[in-house]
Amino acid sequence: MKNFAQFEKRIQYSFNEPALLQQAFTHRSYINEHAHSGLEHNERLEFLGDAVLELAVTDHLYAMYPDKPEGDLTAFRSALVNTKSISLAAEELGANDFLLLSRGEARDTGKARQYILANTFEAIIGALYLDGGYDVARDFIARSLFGRLEEIVSKNLWRDSKSWIQERAQEVENVTPTYRVLSETGPDHDKSFRIGVFFNDICIAEGVGTSKQEAEQNAARAALELRKWV
């Protein structure tokens, strides 16, 4: 069994009910393979943690950016708590070392693991909320996520890059950007796409991602930076 006390040290919190932390790391697939383990999967904790995460981030953004309109604050929040962002936060905490998964799920990497880590991060928040209250959960969120905000805002990572480059390209160069897949690599469950953004038939920039949508956004962001439209 995993030594969850090590994870408690990483997050600087000792659980009054250690079973809550174990539950936060327990994926449904593990229960399916260990029906008599007496454990519960983490989906209810994930549901609770998602709500606590949204409240904590909303409260922080409201206080930090008193002059920003509601639309910008919503976009900031979406960029901060999306699957990629919170799965990265979980990975940086070493959450991979503590996941309780089925043998099949344990072999998965790429996007499948990213979703598991993101859900686990929310479940950890739910566990912290139940064990220590809102302040404990909020402090964990602050340590894990709030440091990313400066980069998100300063680099316009909150903005939908495809919409922004289309608007600027039509305004400045009277052209509508198009996107083409340049290459695909990897197995079906862990593909990587390289996509180019084109003005007419000229490739302006390329982007890579684990989905076509992500690669297109990265290509658009790269083109915005090259054109100095950010």
**Contacts of the segment 176-183: beta carbons below 8 A, 24+ positions apart:** 177/204, 177/220, 177/223, 179/216, 179/219, 181/212, 182/206
CB 226 within 8 A of CB 208: no
Closest listed residue to residue 197, CA positions, set 188, 207, 187? 207
Active site (annotated) includes residue 105: no
Q: What is the C-alpha to C-alpha distance for residues 169 and 110, in angstroms, rounded to an integer?
A: 33
* Active-site residue (options: 50, 105, 131, 216): 50
Active site (annotated) includes residue 50: yes
**Three-state DSSP class for 12?**
coil
CB-based burial label for 165 (10 Å; 0-12, 13-18, 19+): buried
Q: What is the C-alpha to C-alpha distance for residues 137 and 139, in angstroms, rounded to an integer?
A: 6
The position carrying tokens 């409240």 is 55
* Active-site residue (options: 46, 105, 122, 216): 122
Active site positions, annotated: 50, 122
